[in-house]
Amino acid sequence: MQILHTLSGPNLGGLEFRVLDQARWLREHGHAVAIAAPPRSETLKLARSWGLAAVGMDFNSPYSWSGVLRLRRLVKDLRIQVIDAHGTPDAKASALCRDLCSLVRTWHFSRPLRTSWRRRLEWKLGCHRVITTSQGGARDIMTAGFASQGRISVVGEWADQGFFVGADKDAMRRAAREELAIDPAAFVVATIGMLRPDKRQEDLLRVVHTLRQRGVPARALVVGAPTRATAAYGKLLHALAAELGIGGHVTFAGHREDIAHVIHAADAVLVPSVNEAWSRVVPEAYASRCPVVASAVGGLPEIVHPGRTGWLAPAGDVAGFADHLAWIWAHPDESARIAGQARTFADRNLMLSQKMAETLGAYEAAMERARSARNVEAPA
């Protein structure tokens, strides 16, 4: 199969890493795959460093003739069968290649959508198949009238094979903490992701402050960096740590590409987001046997099952997050048992190979729908 992934954003986060993982897997399994993304984007740089076919393309003006003609030329030159668009501007541009190939639009979010006749038309004409990363995202698409249930495939997140380690976890924990200069005796709670207000890393700092007041030797591990647009939020986090008096108990690790290693420094992972689909870090934590506490928002309750694979609290409920984390600290054996159940869940449901089989099924459905549409549209 010949596949083109398109991206319109300049940043490198969970969405972009998902696309890169897909592209690498597709190439390794005999498919021809390319990525089109903004010329100066971090995604394009990393794609090329991984040896992936990558083309610089600006989607800021999705309906510009020059941009559309360039995209159409790329589709023809690479004999693309499927475009998988991951952003709104690139999906709009891809719609004008409808006569050349089949179109898939992947929706990475779980939140209510603004709707209008124009947006409904763009979704109808702009994709033969929709992929959502959660059941909640699928419901949002249907509620907005953008696609019927029969046109939607739900393909959740996964953990890369590197997270599914069977080695000595204690040894990996010691190695990760030594590299990050973290006290072996600390109770480390991590957040992993771009530093953005909707990710609510500030709640991790407040949780650690609360836990320390309760006598828990908590330390925050903040993995991720702000974007240009959220630089002020990154500074706010540093200021808040000082204001709370926990500056000495916070590690700002910055952007890391070795999450499969760094995650083992944590005793628990906190996902305090105010909106989220599945969150990429949840499968990664499951595979790493790291307990997960998360906000009960978006698609997170679809994968975080209280008492079985993790713990949930309302978004913004610092005391609720702290209660769960204090329990994890006080009950290490029971916490390890639940983390083991989460790992079993990941083994059965969250492998990249499983999710790519579902993705290829969605691509094939899109191709079949495109063929049917062309037959209907063709003159008698």
3-state secondary structure string, 4-72? EEECCCCCCCHHHHHHHHHHHHHHHCCCEEEEEECCCCHHHHHHHHCCCEEEECCCCCCCCHHHHHHHH
Q: Over the chain, what is the mean pLDDT?
A: 95
In the numeric block, which tokens belong to residue 251? 């590690």
109-113, 200-204, 218-222: segment of lowest average pLDDT: 109-113
d(CA 358, CA 177): 37
Let me know: does 367 contact 82? Beta carbons within 8 Å. yes
Query: Which domains does the chain carry?
Result: 2-158+352-377 (3.40.50.2000), 162-349 (3.40.50.2000)
- Over residues 54-62, the mean pLDDT reads 94
The pLDDT of 330-358, averaged and rounded, is 96
pLDDT value at 378 more than 70: no
pLDDT tens, position by position, 80-90 = 999 999 999 99
pLDDT of residue 12: 87
Question: Do 1 and 82 form a contact (C-beta atoms < 8 A)?
Answer: yes
Report angle CA 15, 226, 13 to the nearest 5 degrees: 10
Count helices and strands in the chain by DSSP H and E runs: 15, 13
How many other C-beta atoms lie within 10 A of the C-beta of residue 212? 18
Rounded mean pLDDT, 239-246:
98
Residue 74: pLDDT band with limits 50, 70, 90: very high
Model pLDDT, residue 98: 94
Give CA separation, 73 vs 34, 170, 252, 306, 338, in Å: 14, 53, 44, 50, 52
pLDDT at 377: 53
Residue 365 has pLDDT above 70, yes or no: yes
C-alpha neighbours within 13 Å on the C-beta side of residue 299: 25
Helix H, strand E, coil C: the string for 152-179 is: EEECCCCECHHHCCCCCHHHHHHHHHHH
* Beta-strand relationship, 218-223 and 187-192: parallel
Separation of alpha carbons 39 and 30, rounded Å:
26
pLDDT in tens, 158-210: 999 999 977 788 999 999 999 999 999 999 999 999 999 999 999 999 999 99
pLDDT classification of 380: cutoffs 50, 70, 90: very low
| Angle at alpha carbon of residue 87, lines to 80 and 123, rounded to 5° | 80
How far does CA 110 lie from the centroid of its chain?
12
pLDDT at 376: 53
Q: Is 149 exposed, middle or buried (0-12, 13-18, 19+ CB in 10 A)?
A: exposed
Q: Is the pLDDT of residue 66 over 50?
A: yes
For position 329, what pLDDT does the model report? Answer: 98
Average pLDDT in the 59-75 region?
A: 94
Percentage, residues of the chain above pLDDT 70: 98
Q: What is the pLDDT of residues 258-303, one digit of tens each?
A: 999 999 999 999 999 999 988 999 999 999 999 999 999 999 999 9
pLDDT at 379: 44
Q: Residue 23: which pLDDT band, with cuts at 50, 70 and 90? A: very high
